[in-house]
Amino acid sequence: MNTGLDAKVVVITGGASGQGLAATELFAAEGAKVIVADWNEAGAQAQAKALQDKGADAIAVGVDVADESAVKGMIDAAVSRFGRLDVLFNNAGVGFSSTNRFKMANVVETPVADWDAIIAINLKGPALGCKFALPVMAEQGAGVIINNASINGLVALSGADAYTASKGGVVALTRVMAADWGPKGIRVNCICPGGVDTPMINQALVDDAARAAAGAGNPLRRIAQPSEIASVAVFLASDAASYVNGVIIPVDGGATAI
Ligand SMILES: NC(=O)c1ccc[n+]([C@@H]2O[C@H](COP(=O)([O-])OP(=O)(O)OC[C@H]3O[C@@H](n4cnc5c(N)ncnc54)[C@H](O)[C@@H]3O)[C@@H](O)[C@H]2O)c1
């Protein structure tokens, strides 16, 4: 498949870890110029260096996706370094965690500060990315936005109310932006992963039994590897998906089919 991604400029938030990191690898392998954006700036720098060492054109940007001026700086950095912006993968997210900051909790038990932070990062974050990316793409007459939501934007994750609500918001935001920006040549789509083997859930998957249990609820009987989500992002960004717009794609081993 010719993806048409050679020399395309791709911003990936949350690019220092997990699915975002896998996406930086796959887009770079397609010849794309990659902006590794993360609030873990050292991790973003390390990943940009790793890509450069493989011959890719990559830079790192430290960004909190919930911070308007930092997100503007991220998009400005892409345009000033590479002259254009072709793809924004809004991937950074928090809240699907049983032990870390922003612990999963129901609406009664969620501290208001956590509610605000999870919504700010998971929902406002993608909106801010689009706020600054869409005008650049509209000026070019082309561009692709990919949002990373979750199957919990489609079905409830009991006891993770802010996370579930934030991801439902990302699904709805995808649809309205696809409707509004399609006429400008911009496609907006959304990936809804099931369980993925990344640091976000790994602290809960302490042994093989926990890992097997996490995958047991879907027909493939396993959780995904990060590259299995990143490859869908590459497809959505590619010329092969040139008529795909406004879709919400579960990438969940069939979990939401049953
Ligand atoms: N792992 C799963 O099972 C799973 C399932 C469905 C959806 N998701 C979603 O996939 C996306 C990627 O998660 P992952 O599994 O790769 O997790 P991860 O924790 O490995 O990676 C998330 C990355 O986002 C960065 N990040 C978090 N908040 C940020 C912020 N405010 N600004 C900038 N960067 C920030 C982190 O530093 C990290 O590098 C998230 O949106 C997550 O909600 C994950």
User: How many structural domains does the chain have?
Assistant: 1
Do 226 and 18 meet the contact criterion of CB atoms below 8 Å apart?
yes
Residue 254 in any domain: the answer is no
Q: Is residue 18 in contact with ligand 1, taking CB distance under 6 Å?
A: yes
CA dist 191 and 213 (Å) reads: 23
Q: Quick check: is 226 in a domain?
A: yes
The finding on whether 241 has its CB within 6 A of some atom of ligand 1 is: no
Amino acid at 78: A
Q: Identify which of 11, 12, 13, 19 to mutate to test ligand 1's pocket (most ligand atoms within 8 A of the CB).
A: 19
| Six token digits for residue 15 | 């690019």
Neighbour tally for 159: CB within 10 Å: 15
Dihedrals φ, ψ of 242, to 5°?
-65, -20
Query: Is the CB of 164 inside a 6 Å radius of any atom of ligand 1?
Result: no
Q: Which residues are catalytic?
A: 163
φ, ψ dihedrals at 90, nearest 5°: -80, 90
| Domain extent at residue 74 | 9-249
Q: Using one digit for the tens of pLDDT, what is the confidence trace for 53-98? A: 999 999 999 999 999 999 999 999 999 999 999 999 999 999 877 7
- Is the CB of residue 130 less than 8 Å from the CB of residue 171? no
Alpha helices for 182-250 (secondary structure H): 199-202, 208-215, 226-237
Does the C-beta of 40 come closer than 6 Å to ligand 1?
yes
For tokens 């879907």, the residue is 218
Q: Is residue 18 part of a domain?
A: yes
CA 183–ligand 1 middle distance (angstroms): 30
**119 is a domain residue:** yes
Sign of CA dihedral 98, 99, 101, 103: positive
Please check whether residue 124 lies inside any domain of the structure. yes
CATH code: domain of residue 183: 3.40.50.720
Q: What is the pLDDT of residue 29?
A: 98
Residue 258 lies in a domain: no
Digit-coded pLDDT (tens) for 25-46: 999 999 999 999 999 999 999 9
Whether residue 53 lies inside any domain: the answer is yes
User: Quick check: is 101 in a domain?
Assistant: yes
